Amino acid sequence: MTKLFYLVLAIFLSFIGVIGDFFINLAGEGKKFIEFKWFIIGFLIYASTAIGWFFVMKNIKLATTGIFYAVSTVIFLAILGTFYFKEPINIYEIIGIIGAIVSIILLGKFA
């Protein structure tokens, strides 16, 4: 398989991880200290990505994998927080997200 396939797989696995984050976040939003149902679902989603990450890391340099993981996770979490959880995002946070993405890209380019 090509390198592009594994890079796309890394982005997809990041997206699946953000779905796990979604359920972990739900686990802490109830009246109870923790909603175990949502926590277990989030945990199982995280665990399900381990096999995919194994194949990505086996075929792509770890630094490259980390960069794709970090950039896609930042973007997916910002979208999830803004549109699903209705968390307001201000200009400083937008600048921070852009800065994080640029710094990760630069790190990848020169690392």
pLDDT of residue 111: 56
Q: What angle do CA 59, 64, 67 make, to 5 degrees?
A: 135
What percent of the chain lies above the pLDDT cut of 90? 51
CB 16 within 8 A of CB 55: no
- Rounded to whole angstroms, the Cα distance separating 56 from 39 reads 26
Instruction: Look at the block and give the residue holding tokens 């665990």.
Output: 47
In this structure, are residues 70 and 63 in contact, taking their beta carbons and an 8 Å threshold?
Answer: no
Tens of pLDDT, residue by residue over 34-86, are 999 999 999 999 999 999 999 999 998 888 888 888 888 988 999 999 998 89
Q: What percent of the chain has pLDDT over 70?
A: 97
Phi-psi region of 60 (alpha: psi -120 to 50; beta: other; left: phi over 0): beta
pTM of the complete model beyond 0.85: no
